[in-house]
Amino acid sequence: MDLHSATTAQIVEYIFLGYNATVLAYGPTGSGKTYTMVGTRSNPGLMTLLTQTLYERIDVQKHSVYLSYMVGDDALNELYNENIRDLLNPCSGILDLMEDEKGNIQVPGLSKVIAPSSAKNKGIRLKEGAAINRSLLALGNVINSLSSGNRNRYINYRDSKLTRLLKDSLGGKSKTCMIAHVTPSSAHYEETYNTLIYASRAMNITLRPTRSRPVSADQPHMDAMKQINKELQEQNNMVHASSSQLLYEKSPTSDKRSPLSNRGYRPAPHRWQRTAPRKFSSLFNSLREQYLDLIDKQHRLRERLLEANQEAYEAEMSRASKVAILNAWKKQKVEVRENQKTADSIARLTNDVDEQDKRLSELVELRRKIEKALRKGSETAHSVESRLRSAAKHAEQLEMVALLVRMAEADAESK
């Protein structure tokens, strides 16, 4: 109850003001995440206490509409092994991750990073460990990027379904509470150390909660916009047909074709569209090719950044475990430290740590250069986009510019 008063009880206030909220439990296996979130019948956890507080705050008379909306959208989903299941409907099978404007709040329980060889995992257990490691890696990369303080840094949420679900929660659009779990056992030193690192980095993430609106609230506006777009499309089709006929009549060879016209010949409806590319100015074509090259270059840079982030994460995890071993060895008695076999192993570990420090420094510089190139490429793309819009003389050219921009945005979201 004390933990609820200090964390989720305060979040309830934001929920009633129209903000989204997330409670995230993070830590290794056996550290108490399930007990904190679910609890027991005699000592309920945060999920039960939060739900109870929500319903206690609802005044049926003043919030009847809100009550029916909230209850109607109740859901309890499980994200495990990168698969999503509806716990209220076990027969539904694995669900696809569909992103909408409302979003979904999840409470994932991640285990520690599992080494397949040491855990002797096989079959299903090996797949579970790989899925957990993938989620942890993606979550760690997102937290590292968000805590860097660089607002122009590229944040990759699409490596895992976990980070996609937590995009708004981690990105600062909702009120988020992260509860880090650790165990006092010395056998879990590495897991405790890594958990505290991520918790300290998460504290540096700046939150800017924004009020959410249900899709139904904007439905009339969306319907009106669809009708307007439909009418504009019909008008454009009429203009295209008129332009096609006008071009045919103004053609220098129209007199020569007059006998065909007298026999009922008419230009094909898509004749103007086929000849439209000839009307594109050389400047517009040049800018279009330049923009496509920029999209391809940005795509390759994002792939390189993803690879560098993954290598840096793995190197940092490996270095932390080796440093922990070295620190423990330094505390041993002199006779243990003077053992030749142990000394050789310690020397190799020390050399490995030095090499990893060097590689981490190289990766930091590489990531800095890639991020700088991404920012510069983005600025150049915006400049070329503006020039493209200025050079566009026809509706088709403007539509092409809009399509190119959507392609660039979709590519950025997919990485």
**DSSP sequence for 137-176:** HHHHHHHHHHHT--TTS----TT-HHHHHTHHHHHTSSEE
pLDDT of residue 335: 58
- Whether 349 is in a domain gets the answer yes
Instruction: Report the C-alpha gap between 32 and 183 in whole angstroms.
Output: 8
314 and 182 fall within a common domain: no
Quick check: 266 pLDDT over 50? no
Residue 41's alpha-carbon distances to 38, 47, 263, in angstroms, are 9, 12, 89
Whether 19 contacts 79, CB under 8 Å: no
- Whether 241 is in a domain gets the answer yes
Write out pLDDT tens, residues 304-350: 888 888 888 888 888 888 888 888 777 776 655 566 667 777 888 88
CA distance from start to end of the chain: 41
Q: Looking at 170-179, 229-238, 321-330, which range is the least confident one?
A: 229-238
Would you give the distance in Å from CA 121 to the centre of its chain?
A: 30
Model confidence band, residue 101 (pLDDT cutoffs 50, 70, 90): very low
Quick check: 143 pLDDT over 50? yes
Handedness of CA 327, 329, 333, 337 (dihedral sign): negative
141 and 177 fall within a common domain: yes
234 and 361 fall within a common domain: no
Q: Looking at 110-119, 304-313, 403-412, which range is the least confident one?
A: 110-119
Instruction: Report the C-alpha gap between 156 and 413 in whole angstroms.
Output: 8
- Whether 68 is in a domain gets the answer yes
| Nearest partner of 198 among 257, 259, 250, 137, judged by Cα | 137
- Whether 275 is in a domain gets the answer no
Instruction: Report the C-alpha gap between 22 and 151 in whole angstroms.
Output: 22
253 and 339 fall within a common domain: no
Instruction: Report the C-alpha gap between 103 and 157 in whole angstroms.
Output: 14
Secondary structure of residue 415 in the 3-state scheme: coil
33 and 102 fall within a common domain: yes
33 and 167 fall within a common domain: yes
- Whether 277 is in a domain gets the answer no
User: For the domain that residue 62 is a member of, what is the CATH number?
Assistant: 3.40.850.10
pLDDT of residue 408: 82
- Whether 220 is in a domain gets the answer no
Instruction: Report the C-alpha gap between 415 and 410 in whole angstroms.
Output: 9
Domain end: 213, 239, 259, which one? Answer: 213
Write out the residue range of the structural domain in which residue 63 sits.
2-213
Token readout for 181 is 């779990």
Binding residues: 27-34
pLDDT of residue 166: 81
Write out pLDDT tens, residues 37-57: 888 888 899 888 888 888 887
Token readout for 233 is 């499309």
Whether 310 contacts 141, CB under 8 Å: yes
209 and 248 fall within a common domain: no
Tally the C-alpha atoms within 13 A of residue 402's C-alpha that lie toward its C-beta: 6
Quick check: 356 pLDDT over 70? yes
What is the crossing angle of helices 282-330 and 189-202, to 10°?
Answer: 140
Q: How large is the average pLDDT for residues 178-206?
A: 85
Backbone angles phi, psi at 32, to 5 degrees: 105, 20
209 and 254 fall within a common domain: no
Q: Does the reported pTM lie above 0.85?
A: no
CB atoms < 10 A from the CB of 96, how many?
A: 6
101 and 53 fall within a common domain: yes
201 and 103 fall within a common domain: yes
How many domains does one find in the chain?
A: 3
313 and 186 fall within a common domain: no
- Whether 188 is in a domain gets the answer yes
pLDDT of residue 260: 38
Residue matched to tokens 């958990």: 195
Instruction: Report the C-alpha gap between 356 and 350 in whole angstroms.
Output: 10
Binding residues for ATP: 27-34
237 and 304 fall within a common domain: no
Backbone angles phi, psi at 78, to 5 degrees: -120, 130
- Whether 25 is in a domain gets the answer yes
Instruction: Report the C-alpha gap between 122 and 376 in whole angstroms.
Output: 46
